[in-house]
Chain A
Amino acid sequence: MGETISVNGTQRSLPDDPRITLLDFLRRDLGLTGSKKGCDHGQCGACTVIVNGIRINSCLTLAAMHEGDSVTTIEGLGTPEDPSPLQRAFVDQDGFQCGYCTPGQICSATAMLEELANDWPSDASNDLEGKIEISGEEIRERMSGNLCRCGAYANIVAAIRDAATETSA
Chain B
Amino acid sequence: MRPFQYERARTLGDAARLVAGADAMAIAGGSNLLDLMKLQVETPGELVDINRAGFAEIEDADDGGLRIGALATNTATAVHPRVRSDYPVLARAILAGATQQLRNKATTGGNLCQRTRCFYFMNIDQPCNKREPGSGCGAIDGVAKLHAVLGTSDECIATYPGDMAVALSALDATVQIASVDGAERSVPVRDFHCLPGDTPWRENVLEDGEVITAVTLPAPVAGVQLYRKVRERSSYAFALVSIAAIVEMRDGVIARADLSFGGLAHKPWHDLRISDLLEGAAPSAQLYDAAADLLLEDARGYGENDFKIPLARRTLHAVLAQAVEDAA
Name A's B-contacting residues (CB within 8 A). 18-19, 21, 40-42, 45, 48, 54-57, 60-62, 64-65, 67, 108, 111-112, 115, 118, 120-123, 128-129, 140-142, 144-145
Contacts and interface: CB of A to CB of B under 8 A. Distances in A.
Contacts, number: 94
B73 to A, nearest CB: 8
B264 to A, nearest CB: 21
A120 B105 CA distance: 16
Contact of A121 (B38, B49, B79): B79
A115 B104 CA distance: 11
B250 interface: no
Given A18-B4, A60-B29, 17 more contacts: A18-B6, A18-B47, A60-B35, A62-B6, A62-B27, A108-B101, A112-B100, A115-B100, A120-B75, A121-B78, A121-B84, A122-B95, A123-B95, A123-B96, A145-B99, A145-B100, A145-B101
B47 A56 contact: no
9 contacts: A19-B3, A41-B35, A42-B31, A54-B104, A55-B101, A57-B102, A60-B34, A121-B78, A128-B84
A117 B83 CA distance: 19
Given A18-B6, A55-B100, A57-B105, A144 B235 contact: yes
Contact of B1 (A19, A61, A67): A19
A120 B91 CA distance: 11
A7 B91 CA distance: 32
B87 to A, nearest CB: 10
B95 A61 contact: no
Contacts of B85: 128-129
Given A108-B101, A128-B84, A57 B31 contact: yes
B14 to A, nearest CB: 15
A41 B32 CA distance: 9
B237 to A, nearest CB: 9
B51 interface: yes
Q: Identify which of A62, A67, A129 gathers the most chain B CB atoms within 10 Å of its CB.
A: A62
Nearest to A3: B8
B127 interface: no
Given A19-B3, A54-B104, A123-B235, A65 B99 contact: no
Counting chain A CB atoms within 10 Å of each CB, which of B27, B88, B101 scores highest?
B101
Q: Which 6 A-B pairs have the closest CB atoms?
A: A145-B99, A18-B6, A144-B235, A144-B236, A128-B84, A123-B95
B30 interface: yes
A48 to B, nearest CB: 6
B101 A56 contact: yes
B46 to A, nearest CB: 10
A40 B8 CA distance: 24
A65 B49 contact: yes
B92 interface: yes
B78 A144 contact: no
A108 B102 CA distance: 12
Contacts of B75: 54, 120
Given A140-B235, A144-B235, A128 B100 contact: no
